[in-house]
Structure 1
Amino acid sequence: MNDNQTKYLILRANTWHYIRKIPLDLRDLLGRVYHKESLGTSDLQEAMRARDLIAKADNAYWDEVRMGGGVAGSIEQYEKVIARARTMRLQYLTADKIAEQSSLSELMVRIKLLEAGGAAKAEITQAAAIGSIDKPKDKMSDVLTLYKDKIMAHDLTKKNERQYMTMKVLRV
């Protein structure tokens, strides 16, 4: 087992935990030195996958806190909000779904997360807690690219250059 495999991971009582220092410039704002989280698994491979997701979400969150930027309606921002909700141990739901499906105790958990200092001030945290970001609608250009690159990819591998260009012109 090398150091890269266990980066930000520690095994305690047969359960892997994610432990990462918060960047110096954010510690005062966030009110802590470490992000610590149990990954709830004894399997290293599963822990590594969870660690990678959490580390990516941490990086995005810390960048957003530094920039004080808004949470726009892009698919990237939507995915960041979902990842942030996971690190907060919440299932991301849009505001209307929260109103329809959440119990009073679940609503109180979300409110308490917002009342906390430091991290709760970040717009991405607020969006994750209250479900203020709807999933962006797919653009037609994205749908066509997906169709060409993923769905039609297997058909295109069987074509020569002339056939490929003909299909590309006809279908796109």
Structure 2
Amino acid sequence: MKLFGIAGYSGAGKTTLIENLLPYLTASGLRVSVLKHAHHGFDIDRPGKDSFRHRQAGAAEVLLASSARWVLMSELHDAPEPSLAEYVARFSPCDLVLVEGLKHEAIPMLEVYRPANGKPPLWPDHPHIVAVASDEAPLPAVHGGRTWLDLNDAETIARFILATVQTGGKTHADL
């Protein structure tokens, strides 16, 4: 199973990009999973529901299942957050895991960068960012040899990701 990260600040368009990439990646015959990391607390459950009540009563895990889908909710109960490897080990077999967030992991990543957001780019100080997808053209010689992609061209970005994971994380500049 190959890992490829999508990094960037909140509001840059990471989720939308992944949503646009998935049809191209799956059309290539790959089974693709997504790991979405949130920096804030979240809950997919609702107070009053049976599964919520079970978790509140102290269950370590609750598996909620139907004929259409299932979800496993695990409570950390003050334990340390699992590592990327521990999260990935929970996935069913697949060809590619797109990791949204977890920008400090040592996996090949694409930064979604929108200068209009007013946030500094990650790529100058992040050795694992192999490409930048942006809605603005790069300034000459500023992007440090990283591939600069049009954020609105999901097909080209998908081809770049496929080529990168097929070469073991090396970009065309490394070959």
Q: TM-score, normalised by structure 1?
A: 0.20
More strand by share: 2
Q: Who wins on radius of gyration, i.e. which is larger? A: 1
More helix by share: 1
Q: Which has the higher contact order (CA 8 A, sep 6+)?
A: 2
